[in-house]
Chain A
Amino acid sequence: MTLGFGDYLSLLGGESLLTGLVMVMVLLGLYLKNKNIQGYLALAGLAVALILTIGADRTMGPIFFGTMEVDPLSQFFKLVFISVSLIVVLAGLSRYKDSPSQDEFYILLLLATIGMMVVASSIDILTLWVGFELASLSTYAMAAFDKEKKNLEAAMKYFIFGATSSAAMLFGFSLLYGLTGTTKIAEIAAASIETMGPATLVALIFVVAGFGFKMALVPFHMWAPDTYEGAPTVVTAFLAAGSKKMGFVAAFKVILIALMALRLEWFMAFAVLVAITMTLGNVVAIWQKSVKRMLAYSSVAYAGYIAIAFVVVGAANNGGFDIAVAQGGLAASLMLILGHAFSKTGAFIAVAVVGYMALREGKDNPDDIEHYAGLGRRAPITAFCMLVFIFSLSGIPPTAGFIGKLLVWGSTIDSGLIWLGVLFALNSALSLYYYLRVIMYMYMKEPAGAKIIEPRGYVAAMVVALVAVFYIGLFPQAFVDFAYSAAAVLLH
């Protein structure tokens, strides 16, 4: 069947709209004197893209000569990416108000979002790589956006690690293409199952290394804390909540198929990697004095939690394929991604508010935990939002994070990996220690200064994230169903 332009527009409406908007914004930025309108344009575009993405027909099958597909999985991730972008734009309205280069911030943010959406939809390794690079290149520039010394260091580390891992990934892809003669992920999987050789293994290791970087799995996590700490805080929110999830959707598409193809006890290697990732992230987070760095390490730990899905699928595949367990594990991971996206974005924006406050008072290390003393009285909205995000991150009901953690924990038990479930629960308990310390500072210490006026954009961003966290926590059924149908796409 040949599709017309109208069909493509309705299927990829969000992407088309945002791409057009970027072009308009580039031109407007050249001629406008007052650029504050650009942020509102980006906001409106993202809101409409969100609606278009929800409304897109998910049953159409492959489009663009079999390189992209609009299915529940892609739409689930696009939802996450657009929402995170939306919240970051809201925060940007305050952060970059009256800044002469603010249009470039929104343009880069939108371009990165488009790249992620392409990755979510692609079913072909080359399309996937192009989307991956679009998102990566935009975020490299964003990490250095304020042009301070710390930003440049963060961006440089991010760029060097990113470029190397992209090269590794592309090399892996080229080997896969050489071995199978196709770039379609499904055909690669089928061909790899037939002729499994040492070269396939080498290719997969390169691909895993490439994705592992974006996901910040140990041992590819080294860049993450430095970059997250050094980048402008609103950008960090986007990196931790958006860019990282892109690594996961790409990994779900490629690595899962590989794991199923291998039919070996390979998942045990992944299990060890996951166990190390979450434990290391949590243990190192305890020692951090900078809240931003602490959240960065907790993000590493979360990468471990989310990657449990790979292990669960591997375990379900061990001797006969238990599709229900595998689907449960994937859906749990998706719910965790959803919860983490909103809670982490919100938490980093709360950090941005405190950093803004500390900088105005002339303090030199704006992310230090000392500045959180008495935040409950100095900035009540920020403190309350931070409290909820921290509850969500540590998995306390009724928040989105709780649903995700509960499902992941259940999936480890279902798949018979009791030790991993126990380790996961222990890690969650461990994380409470450093999360609660922030709450203790915010509500039990004497305020370190006078009450401040919280910038409206930041507040709006945090409230949107807060509502999402509570809504998913209180009415999870629709989201869980969505996650299950998304998981089914990977397993058919």
Chain B
Amino acid sequence: MLWLCLFSPVQEKHALKALAGWAGQFSSFVSFDTERWLLWLEIGASLRYFGGLPTLLEKVMEGLNALGLKAATGIAPTPEAAALLARQMHTTPVLQLDHLRQAIASLPLGALAIPPAAIGGLQASGVMTAGELLALPRDALARRWGMQLTDYLQRLLGERPDPRKPYRVPQTYYRRFDFAEPVKTVEGLLFPLRRILYELQGYLRGRDAALQALNVALRHHDHADTVLTLRTTDPQRDAVRLFALLREKLERTQLPGAVMEIRLSVAHFVAWRDTQLHLWDEAEHHDASWSDLLDKLRARLGDQAVRRLGLRDDHRPEKAWCVEDNVAAADLPPAFPDRPLWLLTPQPIQRLPRLLGKPERIEAGWWTGEDSSRDYYIAQTEEGSRWWLYREAATARWFLQGIWA
């Protein structure tokens, strides 16, 4: 076992838990202690995957940077030793249990996680460093300062197991961010949002998952929450991309008042496929930039403005098409008659243009009680436009329903 401990005395209440979620991308065993502002990652099992300790550390630091967080790190074979090194900003990793005692010997007594009374008492009797404390007989220490002290020293040196409660990644993602001061502008929301999205990215990597929808709720003092839903065409987990989309959406949102709190949640996840592989294929590359484009368009214009078309099995022309989210390849029945490119809501016409050819009888919908027996004609107006007209059998009235553009 090898532990990486992050010591980050940050002020914000929900931050450490969110950081634990983020850390899931580097380790399958994450644990934290909110009282002491400590977060542990068991990295012994992840080293090979990340290609060694320096690379893993570099990635962790990059990640912390992106979050805008400063954290001291400590690496040691036991959680308490890693915590001790982190708190002392002792950056040289201690990889083996045998080297631990020597590595911490010179650290001041005050750095150890033992009761202040014990520290005071020991210092009064001339014990100033961790090394000097460890040199004392344990049974005497236990008698004088209690089992708690010797228990700690044993866990520190790995002489007894130190089971930690693992942080169980929640099945849905929820992150709250409180503002100390109400925020009045969208710009003020962007900084915490960017950070939350980086946390989310780490969480998604840890779960090997991606999302296609995320919700952002903004709490106001005296108005109902502003709620935004971001949907993406393809599974996403890239913080930069999600941020760009969310920003576009936010900048087009009218805030009814100052924002007190951000809540970001993701209810559903999908398995992540490695899109990097697809970049080799030029056609697939176009598809990747295509779905990015769709997301961008939807973020600004709204989901309903960006439309894919589908067919419906209905004889009535106005019902033979639809707007679809996921378009499957559809095909017309063989020998389907010609149709105009533009479909119009039927408009009654007064003056009948010149009709071309024979009518096409379309009868459908009678079982729904709608009598829609119609004779369709192609017609040519005097000006030279080509129209699609029909005569309603029941009323003998004429309607324009299509234009050959």
Chain A partners chain B? no
A residues near B, CB below 8 A?
Answer: none
B residues near A, CB below 8 A?
Answer: none
